[in-house]
Amino acid sequence: MDTQVVIIGGGPSGLLLSQLLNRAGIATVILERASREHVLSRIRAGILEWGSVELLREAGVGARMDAEGIAHDGAWLTDADLMVHVDFKALTGRQVMVYGQTEVTHDLYDAQDAMGTTILHGVEDVRILDLDGPQAAVEYTQGGRRHRLSCAYVAGCDGFHGVSRRTIPEDRRREFERVYPFGWLGILSRTPPVADELIYANSPHGFALASMRNHNLVRYYVQVPLSDRVEDWPDDRFWAEFRRRIPAQAAARLVTGPSIEKSVAPLRSFVSEPLRWGRLFLVGDAAHIVPPTGAKGLNLAVSDVFYLHQALIAALKQGDQAGLDTYSDRALARIWKAMRFSWQMTMMLHRFDGEDGFAAQMRRATLAHLAESETARRELAENYVGLPY
């Protein structure tokens, strides 16, 4: 074999899997289509479940997160009439960590470089072969030359548009999808946050989220039609719309400034089953997409890595295949629970075009129930901080 595990995709899930395997003495090669600079320029999630925090520490990449990340005890859910605080720490004993995905990726690259891991960028035309034989193979083109790697296993961490999922025959895949009729327009701005914790606002004008990356870098969102483009939203328009969607006491504290990044993200729920095909294992967005409402995207990828790294270590170090045989079922059980939570949060907080008055009343009733019921708040908190692995 050329290496023990080929990892397709050099984002955080592929890097974390490689880091954990390398620390156990298992050799990996990572193949990434984009440049490192492009990978590190992606603006993605900023909320880490506590299980993700603990796994990053286990991987030896938690020092900067612990020094610079911001632990949050809870979050606010609001509408035009109510502000409901969900106290994660009081209800579950756990917190979440505000620490951007870009920073996680930086930390993982630094750790992998220190280990000397082979990370190949600019890789094109990847083909995954021989998955039902004694060894798998991965062919790819880099710099105009064709290459081939033999390995024991392949981890597909290459995202929704990658080759890994499509390698599983179409007639052997079951795909489930819900596309939502709106997107999130998000901006980054070097301004102080309007609150110490996140605010999820369901207003008559549509959803808004007040999030942050640190004490002087905010990530704010507003719900927009899928037809809207970034060019339709100059900064002044965004700030005016964001201000009228968040609670008045937060709006009074709002500090505006120029955006340093702006993008529109469509919302969808997607799951592809199974997560295993012979010697290929799917991880993260290659197998599932969640709307960002529940802060589960990166965290679900981390939970896949948790199950898969343990299974690969057992198989390659002890010859125990049981973990690989159950990987898909174990990971999917947690994926579907997170999918339910993200769908539930999305339905509770967004206005849908053409909806009737009943839908708005259901959102009001749901928030009122959260305000009155500790049991309801605990159920939300348990899902938000992360279900156990």
Residue of 288, 296, 309, 350 with catalytic role: 296
- Considering the candidates 200, 220, 221, 327, report the single residue annotated as catalytic: 200
Q: Is the pLDDT of residue 329 over 90?
A: yes
Q: Is the pLDDT of residue 111 over 80?
A: yes
Looking at residue 289, what is its pLDDT?
A: 97
Alpha-carbon distances, residue 370 vs 84, 85, 376 (angstroms): 7, 9, 5
The percentage of residues in the chain with a pLDDT greater than 90, rounded to a whole number, is 96
Query: Catalytic site residue 384?
Result: yes
Alpha-carbon span 214 to 222, nearest angstrom: 20
Report helix, strand or coil for 366. Answer: helix
pLDDT digits (tens, 9 = 90+) for 84-107: 999 999 999 999 999 999 999 999
pLDDT at 81: 83
Tell me, letter by letter, the H, E, C secondary structure of 254-302.
CCCCCEEEEEEEEEEEEEEECCEECCEEECHHHCEECCHHHCCHHHHHH
Catalytic residue among 12, 193, 292, 350: 292
Is the pLDDT confidence value at 13 over 90? yes
Mean pLDDT of the chain: 96
Per the residue annotation, which of 72, 288, 309, 350 is the catalytic one? 72
pLDDT per residue as tens digits for the range 135-173 = 999 999 999 999 999 999 999 999 999 999 999 999 999
Give the chain's largest Cα–Cα span: 64
227-267 tens-digit pLDDT: 999 999 999 999 999 999 999 999 999 999 999 999 999 99
Active site residue 140: no
Separation of first and last alpha carbons in the chain? 32
Quick check: is 109 catalytic?
Answer: no
Which residues lie below 8 Å from residue 43, measured CB to CB, with a gap of 6+? 100, 102, 186, 188, 219, 261, 263
The whole-number average pLDDT for the span 280-288 is 98
- For this structure, is 296 an active site residue? yes
**Does 42 have pLDDT greater than 90?**
no
* Residue 262 is a catalytic residue: no
